[in-house]
């Protein structure tokens, strides 16, 4: 059977991967980059907003600080509501094309894609971090303040490290979801895996074979990522039994 004239499914799949393999690999690399970088930046956004939302307000708090915290909390709630309540694909269209039409900004698609993944992840991480902070016992915070730590010091040195350990599995879930969700960025011409697949499918009009290859590549990426995350989680959990010496 000629490679140029395949007659079977696997023949077509081999031909398409031979012709477009580098594009698939490059697209997979872009998807991984956006997922990892977006998850890291989104986690930073989530921790920042989560800490702000947990700042205590008591009778000793000044009126101006109460007002600022209330405004900040309202803006964070609005941000979380907006980005958790709308699809990433729609967010990409609004932000990328809206920036060009309203503000005259000619954004690079890759930069716009990273921004979109980051703020979308940050909205979900905000609630996750808030829950993680609340899962740490109040005694931890009370003990930190008893030795003279401020709220920010207690958060940075005592609460956040424990909260981070508690939410590692959820961060891993967001990372895996982001690897798949980067496919939505094809609507703003980000040259990730799904975008490369559409180009190959449009050339040969063999959609089943092309997206079978795409499916395998996505599955490979998410499986490898899951294995690495499970290994890291196991390493950070420490030993189950300790021996006194």
Distance CA 163, CA 160 (A): 5
- Report pLDDT for 150: 77
245 residues of the chain, pLDDT tens digit each: 445 677 788 888 898 998 989 999 999 999 999 999 999 999 999 989 988 887 777 777 788 888 898 999 999 999 999 999 999 999 999 999 999 999 888 899 999 999 999 999 999 999 898 888 888 877 777 788 788 887 778 888 888 888 888 888 899 999 999 999 999 999 999 999 999 999 888 888 889 999 999 999 999 999 999 999 888 887 776 565 545 55
Instruction: Check if the beta carbon of residue 50 is closer than 8 Å to that of residue 132.
Output: yes
- Report pLDDT for 2: 46
Distance CA 55, CA 73 (A): 10
- Report pLDDT for 1: 42
- Report pLDDT for 36: 96
Distance CA 180, CA 158 (A): 34
Q: By CB neighbour count within 10 A (0-12 exposed, 13-18 middle, 19+ buried), where does 55 fall? A: middle
- Report pLDDT for 238: 59
> 2: alpha, beta or left, given left = phi > 0 and alpha = psi -120 to 50?
beta
- Report pLDDT for 4: 63
């Amino acid at each position: 059977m000629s490679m140029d004239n395949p007659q079977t499914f696997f023949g077509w799949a081999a031909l398409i991967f031979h012709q477009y393999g580098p594009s698939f690999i490059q697209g997979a690399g872009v998807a991984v980059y956006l997922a990892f970088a977006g998850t890291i930046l989104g986690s930073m956004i989530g921790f920042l907003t989560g800490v702000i939302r947990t700042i205590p307000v008591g009778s000793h708090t000044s009126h101006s600080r109460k007002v600022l915290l209330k405004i900040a909390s309202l803006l964070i709630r609005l941000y979380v509501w907006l980005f958790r309540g709308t699809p990433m694909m729609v967010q990409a269209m609004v932000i990328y094309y809206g920036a060009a039409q309203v503000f005259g900004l000619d954004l690079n698609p890759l930069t716009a894609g990273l921004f979109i993944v980051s703020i979308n992840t940050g909205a979900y991480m905000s609630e996750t971090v808030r829950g993680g902070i609340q899962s740490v016992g109040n005694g931890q915070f009370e003990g930190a303040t008893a030795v003279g730590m401020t709220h920010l010091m207690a958060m940075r040195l005592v609460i956040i490290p424990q909260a981070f350990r508690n939410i590692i599995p959820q961060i891993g879930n967001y990372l895996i979801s982001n690897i798949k969700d980067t496919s939505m960025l094809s609507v703003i011409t980000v040259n990730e895996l799904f975008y490369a697949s559409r180009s190959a499918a449009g050339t040969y009009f063999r959609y089943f074979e092309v997206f079978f290859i795409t499916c395998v590549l996505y599955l490979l990426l998410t499986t490898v990522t899951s294995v690495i995350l499970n290994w890291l989680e196991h390493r950070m959990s420490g030993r189950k039994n300790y021996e006194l010496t």
